[in-house]
Amino acid sequence: MCGLRFCEPRGRAADFGGPEVRTTEDLARALLAASGKGKRLVSVPVPVPGRIGRGYATGANLAPNHADGVVTFEQYLAEQGKPTALRYR
């Protein structure tokens, strides 16, 4: 996957998925648990309109038949050290 980043465009890359299929809410709960702050999560459904939204709703963005990733989200958080200081890069 990292090799694709530095290559010239080659068309469609092979599907690649993580070891688990998770919801956004579940990932947010895992992040809160890893932070150790014990904060509550209020879940508010946000519909995504159009074809993209329908694709997400049916799981078309997932690759469960290509679960090639081996690091779970909890493992990733543990490797980061201080989950409350995580920032998007």
pLDDT at residue 6 greater than cutoff 80: no
Is the overall model pTM greater than 0.75, yes or no? no
pLDDT at residue 89 greater than cutoff 70: no
What is the tens place of the pLDDT at every residue in 19-70?
999 988 999 889 888 887 777 888 888 889 999 999 998 999 998 888 888 9
**Long-range Cβ contact pairs of 25-31 (< 8 A, separation 24 or more):** 27/73, 30/73, 30/74, 30/77, 31/77, 31/83, 31/86
Closest CA to 16 of 29, 6, 3: 3
- Token pair 């209020």 is found at 42
In the DSSP assignment, the letter for residue 9 is P
